[in-house]
Structure 1
Amino acid sequence: MSKHDSTAADSPAQTPDETPWQRLASADPIRIRDPLAEVLGMVPDGDPLVVTFADVAKAAGHACPAVAGAYRSTQLALDRLYPDDYPVRSNVVVTVGGAPSDPGLGPMANVIRHITGAADETGFAGFAGFGGRDDLLSFGTVEAPGRAFRFERTDTGAAVVVSFAPSATGVDPDDGGGAPMQALGKIVSGDADAEETAAFREQWHGRVQRILDAPADGGPFTVELASETDE
């Protein structure tokens, strides 16, 4: 069965999302195995957990270009690392290029952690080491432009680097976010009228959707084997 096929994880036994969304961008779900969840009987052996964009938006408290960029970056990386199988939590190490204080990188790292389970020293250490996720995510140097992330499989050593260019979407975190964030400030302060608010939301959610729909190459994303970026 393909990792993109429906599985028991999509059965009616799953609780539906009852959040009263007024609008939320859509994206293909990410299916990832969690051996610890299997051992504890949460899911049948070999069946994946299903993580959706709605899941990470709820965890973040909002949907924005950074959250969408991290979700799509992780999706592209896992698709490249696991072309024929489900990715596996506890077997993926992530390096976030930059520092936690860099604009947007902290929230993006949280999205990646939510999907892959990879965590810093605060992560779950596992049962006698089994299923541990601590020390699998760190901030450091990743040789790639934009917001860059390195994903590596611990079982094979295969690694990819995903580069995301927020400025290609019209939001530049290094320049205060650009015009959209200026409009948001006016809305938050209560100075925007209904027409301005509606126009902002249309622009905002449209940008988020375009990020989630972006291809692996040729848009704001570039996906390369780590060996290619290290040359």
Structure 2
Amino acid sequence: MSQPVRSVAQAFAILRLLADGDGLTLSEIGRALDLSPSSCFNLLNTLVAEGAIVRTGGKRYRLAGPWGGFEGLRDRTGRSLIDRARPLMARLAQQGDAAVGLWKMASRDRLQLVAHAESDAVMRLRFADAQRQPLGGGAAGRALAAAQRVDDTELARRYAPVRWQADLPFDVYAAQVREAAARGYAIDRGFAHRGIWTVAVGIADVAPGFCLSASIVAGSRGEAEVAQLAAALGQLRARLVADQ
């Protein structure tokens, strides 16, 4: 599947952002979507020229009349979180040389990848676009279960359909979820995918439930580096939730 056109995605992110408020300044839009002043200015000028938004006398931007009626722009499923996460994930992928994913709880049984970023290293891990996995699977499933504080019955239900590539008994899985709740992140060391380590943090504060993950080649980092990667994910989560 081809990659989205970045400028088009950024333009729609601006439209969605403006749909949820009474108008924002250039600096407020740039800060919310992590856009440089020049990029933000050019995008806003283009949207004004196309008649999608207008600039008021107070130097604030808002949707033009016809666009304000598009219900599809209203954020009902965490869309603004996804928009704001993309550039921050790209930065983390580069800095951490990792494949970074944002997962959404798509149903009571499945997680879906809604955004991803990879480093530009010659040898790198890469996600398949829009992939889905069982709700309890991988580090993402453990991290979300920990963040949501699910009980043992629900945890067993989520665990049951998962097909692990390395043997993982339920009692060990449940212990890993408890550890994730205590330290703030989950880790999968090759159980979901052989040769891959993944750390993840859950986002239970935004409906319907999200999770950030970062994957690396197994054994390519020491314990301190893995902990640093998890801390970076935690900082990204905190920023996204604070801005929601």
TM-score, with normalisation over the residues of structure 2? Answer: 0.27
| Structure that is richer in strand per residue | 2
| Structure that is richer in helix per residue | 2
